[in-house]
Amino acid sequence: MSTTAEQSRPPAIALEQLERHYGDLTAVAGIDLAIADGEFFSLIGPSGCGKTTTLRIVAGLETPSSGRVSVRGQDVTDVPAFKRPVNTVFQHYALFPHLNVFENVAFGLKERKVSRSDTRRRVTEMLELVGLTGREKARPKQLSGGQQQRVALARSLVLEPAVLLLDEPLGALDLKLRKQMQMVLKEIQREVGITFVYVTHDQEEAFSMSDRVAIMHKGKIEQIGDPVDTYRRPQTLFVADFVGASNRFEARVVERLGSGSYRADMGTLGTLDVPGVAGLAVGDQAVAVVRPEAIRTAPGFGDAVLDGTVTDVSFMGPQTQYVVDAGGLGTAAMLSPADDDDLLHSGAAQQFRFAARSAWLVAADPGSVDDAQ
């Protein structure tokens, strides 16, 4: 998460106390954030969480109600969008329909009065980078969705911005193309070394590409961290739910074991030693989050056992998902690799197991986490 560069150089983007209100509606409710130079950073959250508004404020397309935006240490809050050293890749590409690919990519260079020969060289290089050499004369309408996406990318990157902002850039593509473009984006980012700020509602997409992600909820950032940490150690129930499926089991803290570990009373599952967020107190009502892939049927596996009946089986190729009715514990989901000895059938009664250390305790009500961090 931290690099030496972060200390010596100002962050590519710094947001301080950023807020945006529309009448009574609050889109952004006070955000503080620093994004390091060269980072691939993602803002994720459900629709309406304020991620796109935040991105647009950074681009200068939206004015904050209060707060400051700096780019590379310079306050740009009052700088109009067309003078900011950031560029945006729009959700629906926003390619100029009356210009061909070359003219689209050259658009910004012309505003900067770059010479004809330089323009030609830079545009050609950029089209090569995104793999569109030979399509210079094509109109946006004649291109496929993925190609349009690449033109939009080239059009912004050719200006060598301090930060590239991407607003759900893959939202309009089908799944296969999406996966492909994720690789392309990651590769290009590594090659050009420009800071990417990526907005998406797709947690998997963000995780697969980003150095760090911020999860937004109701105009606030709930958690910032690298994908692994965010997935394994969500700080709130909202984050736990948003970053992938999770099973929830009620738990009550009976003892603090120090260094983020607790002894918890989990009803019929017994009393288990479970890691969790800092700051839970003895007697707190908490939730133990267990990822579906942490549940197994192998005898002797783990230390928590629940009896249940399989109610639904979905074979998905590399893995199989089971829905389990666990009686008083509610329903649970289990994800197991396809090479798992034999598939369970719907209606099968079985013991399901997980290791207590693979569970993670978060406060049941977000308000009960004190500011211990």
Query: Which residues make up the interface to other proteins (CB under 8 A)?
Result: 17, 19, 21-25, 59-61, 63-67, 80-83, 87-88, 90-92, 94-100, 102-103, 106-108, 110-112, 116, 119-120, 123, 136-137, 139, 141, 155-156, 159
Task: Look at the chain and count its residues.
Answer: 373
- CA 249 to mean position of chain CA atoms: 25
Cα(208)–Cα(235) distance, integer angstroms = 20
Nearer to other proteins by Cβ, of 59 and 272: the residue is 59
Q: Least distance from C-beta 176 to other proteins, angstroms?
A: 26
Least Å from the CB of residue 191 to other proteins:
21
- Rounded to whole angstroms, the Cα distance separating 220 from 54 reads 10
Alpha helix (H) residue ranges in the chain: 4-8, 51-59, 101-111, 116-129, 145-157, 175-192, 203-209, 227-232, 237-242
CB closer to other proteins, 159 vs 287:
159
β-strands 195-200, 163-167: how paired?
Answer: parallel
CB of 221 to other proteins, least distance (A): 17
Tell me whether residue 82 or residue 315 sits nearer to other proteins (CB atom): 82
CB 222 within 8 A of CB 236: yes
* Residue 169 C-beta: closest distance to other proteins, Å: 12
Kindly tell me which of 10 and 67 has the beta carbon lying closer to other proteins: 67
Min CB(260)–other proteins separation in Å: 34
Comparing CB distances to other proteins, the nearer of 119 and 235 is 119
For residue 252, CA distances in Å to 30, 50, 189, 247, 274 come to: 32, 33, 45, 16, 11
Q: Which residues contact 128 (CB under 8 A, 6 or more apart)?
A: none
Q: List the structure tokens of 295.
A: 């549940």
CB of 312 to other proteins, least distance (A): 35
Instruction: State the minimum distance, in angstroms, from the CB of residue 88 to other proteins.
Output: 5
If the CB atoms of residues 216 and 304 are measured against other proteins, the closer one turns out to be 216
230 vs 41: CA distance, rounded Å: 13
Whichever of 158 and 274 has its CB closer to other proteins, that residue is: 158
C-beta closer to other proteins: residue 157 or 253: 157
Work out how close the CB of 110 gets to other proteins at its nearest, in angstroms, rounded to a whole number.
Answer: 7
CB 123 within 8 A of CB 200: no
Q: Are 347 and 309 in contact (CB under 8 A)?
A: yes
d(CA 329, CA 304): 13
